[in-house]
Structures are given as structure tokens and as C-alpha cells.
Amino acid sequence: MGGQFLESRRWTGGEATIREALQATEPVHATTALGMLAGVNGRGGWSLAIGAEYHAGRYDFRHTDRFQTRHDSIFNHVITFNSLVLQTTTDTITTYRQEQRIAASVNRYAMLRIPLELGWHAPLGRFRLGARAGVALELTDLRSGTLLVNGPEGPLSVEVQPAHKQCMSVLGGSVGADLGYILTEQWSLWASPVYEKGLLSLLPPDNSPYALAERSGIRLRLAYTFRP
């Protein structure tokens, strides 16, 4: 199966300052999914399936960093009489300056989604109409780009490094409609408008903000039935 989705993510948890900054950096963006489902068809049109999907997403990151810089100026004072040095003193003057910097990058992340879905279908000639709903474990990893960390003056943008990647584990739910067409006795083609939503975080890392995704799109599925 493969799918194309529009996704928005709602950041929650952690400190309000960095959570709101993260929310402002992430616009609605597209994701692409590929995967497989395996399941059984029961009586009355019911079916149960489990699978694995790989989602890839990217979005434009943009944030204005505000920070303070320190400048030390050293002044030497020398008192001389002819060529004789009578006294030497050194003064240090420290000044602070408020600065800002615009950070922009393309953030790329990947998600492994493991769905468990219950479906129901009714025959209509060579077509099948139905609906499905389920839950899924979503494991998201920010692969490259920029993330925000707490700095002395507020959130600061830093490049993603292996030491501080953002890995999130979320339990999500989904509902969808199914339209299928029977190609042969074993093969069928399905199109499914789907709505998916993150419900709760399973392992919030050290009270850091985490994202709950909300996505809608269409999933195409080519199915093979071993025992029609």
C-alpha cells in the first residue's frame, strides 16, 4: 500500500516557551507512506489486519533566535617620565548587546507506523464498500535539519546531531472509508480516504515537548487474497 497525506503536528508538554516556539516553526506539510498489511477476512464482511508503514515528511523550518553577546574591551594606561615607566594600570570595560539571527532549514523526519485495523465491507457487484478504524504505534525520528533548545535568552536553533535527535513514541487512532474493485478471484484494488490523529505520548522524554500528528489523505492498496 502507499499513501499521500497532509499533516499538521500539535506540540504539547514541556515548557510553554519552547513548546510555542516549536509550534510556530512547523507549517502544514505533506508526507508520503509505503507499507504492507496482513490480515484475515471473517464472516459478515469483517476483517482484522496488522501492518507496518514507513512515512517520510519534510517541512520548512524558520525561527528568529534572540540572544545576548558580551564584548570585553581592554584599556592599558601607562604613566612615564621620559623613558621611565612610573605606573601601569589595566581597565576592562564589558558591554552587552542584544542580537537576533534568523535560522532557516528543511527538516526531514521519518516515522514507523504499526497499525492494527478492524474493517467491514459489503459487496456491490465487482465493487466493495466499507469502513475501517484502528489504533497504531507511531515512532518518529527527526533525521536532519534544525531543532530548538532552551538558551539563556529563550529558544535557540541548533543543527540536528546524533547526540540529541528527537525521537517520539505516540499512540494514534485512525478512521477511513474503503472502496474496492475486484480484479480477479485473488487480486483487488482499494482506495481509502483516511483520517489519522495522534492521541497520547507513550514515553515523553525528560518532560520535553512532543508532537501529536493529525493527517488526512488517501491510501491506495493492492490486495491478494490467499483463500477467497
- Give residue-wise pLDDT tens across range 98-148: 777 788 888 889 999 999 999 999 999 999 999 999 999 999 988 888 878
Going 24 to 25 to 31 to 36, the CA torsion angle's sign is negative
Question: Looking up cell 483520517, which residue turns up?
Answer: 195
**Domain residue ranges of the chain, discontinuous segments joined by +:** 2-64+103-224
Bridge partners, residue 35, by sequence: 53
How confident is the model over 128-142, as pLDDT tens digits?
Answer: 999 999 999 999 988
Name the percent of the chain lying above pLDDT 70: 93
Distance (Å, whole) CA 8 – CA 217: 12
Distance (Å, whole) CA 27 – CA 25: 7
The cell for 98 is 542584544
Going 159 to 165 to 171 to 177, the CA torsion angle's sign is positive
Any idea which fold 2-64+103-224 has? Porin (2.40.160)
